[in-house]
Amino acid sequence: MKKTAIAILLGITLPFSTSILADNSESKTTQNSTALTAELPVVEAELTFAPNVPKPINRKEPARVVVKLEALEKVMEIMGGVQFKYWTFNGATPAPFIRVREGDTVEVHLSNPVNSKMEHSIDFHSAAAPEGGAIASNTKPGRTSVFAFQALQPGLYLYHCAAFPGAATHIGKGMFGLMLVEPKEGLPDVDKEFYIVQNEFYTNAGFGEKGLHVFSMEKASYELPDYVVFNGHYGSMMGEDALKAKVGDKIRFFVGNAGPNKISSFHLIGKPFDTVYIEGGTLQNHNVQTTLIPAGGATIAEAQIQVPGQYTFLDHSIFRADKGAKGMLIVEGKENPAIYSGKIKDEAYDKRNPDADVEVDFHLK
Q: Report d(CA 49, CA 91) in Å as an integer.
A: 10
3-state secondary structure 238-264: CHHHCEEEECCCEEEEEEEEEECCCCE
**Mean pLDDT across the chain, nearest whole number?**
90
Is there a domain that residue 338 lies in?
no
Is there a domain that residue 3 lies in?
no
Shared domain check, 216 and 120:
no
Residue 22 has pLDDT above 70, yes or no: no
Shared domain check, 306 and 240:
yes
Shared domain check, 197 and 176:
no
Shared domain check, 154 and 241:
no
Q: Report d(CA 37, CA 33) in Å as an integer.
A: 8
Asked if 78 and 233 count as a contact pair (C-beta separation under 8 A), the reply is yes
Shared domain check, 79 and 131:
yes
- The annotation status of 1 as a binding-site residue, yes or no, is no
Indicate which CATH number applies to the domain containing 119.
Answer: 2.60.40.420
Picking from 182, 200, 223, the residue at the C-terminal end of a domain is 182
- The annotation status of 267 as a binding-site residue, yes or no, is no
Q: Strands across the sheet with 326-332, in order?
A: 243-246, 326-332, 309-315, 264-268, 290-293
Is there a domain that residue 361 lies in?
no
Q: Report d(CA 109, CA 249) in Å as an integer.
A: 36
* Higher pLDDT, residue 253 or 10: 253
Is there a domain that residue 354 lies in?
no
Shared domain check, 283 and 153:
no
Q: What pLDDT is attached to residue 35?
A: 60
- The annotation status of 213 as a binding-site residue, yes or no, is no
Shared domain check, 328 and 205:
yes
Picking from 136, 164, 182, the residue at the C-terminal end of a domain is 182
- Start-to-end C-alpha separation, the chain: 75
Q: Report d(CA 303, CA 253) in Å as an integer.
A: 8
For residues 204-223, one letter each, b for 16 or more C-beta atoms within 10 angstroms of the residue's C-beta and e for the rest, the string is eeebeeeeebebbeebbeee
Highest mean pLDDT (candidates 35-49, 136-150, 346-360): 136-150
Q: Report d(CA 250, CA 138) in Å as an integer.
A: 40
Domain extent, residue 247, equals 192-332
Shared domain check, 215 and 175:
no
Residue 338 has pLDDT above 80, yes or no: yes
Is there a domain that residue 349 lies in?
no
Helix, strand or coil for residue 218? helix
Q: What pLDDT is attached to residue 98?
A: 98
Residue 27 has pLDDT above 50, yes or no: no
Shared domain check, 227 and 110:
no
> Please, which pLDDT band fits residue 311 given cuts at 50, 70 and 90?
very high
Report the percent of the chain where pLDDT is more than 70: 88
Is there a domain that residue 8 lies in?
no
Q: Report d(CA 47, CA 356) in Å as an integer.
A: 57
- The annotation status of 286 as a binding-site residue, yes or no, is no
* Higher pLDDT, residue 364 or 80: 80
Is there a domain that residue 309 lies in?
yes
Q: How far is CA 77 from the centre of its chain?
A: 19
* pTM for the whole structure: 0.88
> Please, which pLDDT band fits residue 30 given cuts at 50, 70 and 90?
very low
- The annotation status of 160 as a binding-site residue, yes or no, is yes
Q: Which residues contact 328 (CB under 8 A, 6 or more apart)?
A: 237, 238, 239, 242, 243, 310, 311, 312, 313
Lowest mean pLDDT among 31-45, 55-69, 173-187, 189-203: 31-45
- Count of domains observed in the chain: 2
Is there a domain that residue 359 lies in?
no
Picking from 139, 163, 182, the residue at the C-terminal end of a domain is 182
- The annotation status of 120 as a binding-site residue, yes or no, is yes
Q: Report d(CA 345, CA 365) in Å as an integer.
A: 33
Shared domain check, 272 and 298:
yes
Report the percent of the chain where pLDDT is more than 90: 85
- The annotation status of 175 as a binding-site residue, yes or no, is yes
Model pLDDT for residues 123-143, shown as the tens digit of each residue = 999 999 999 999 999 999 999
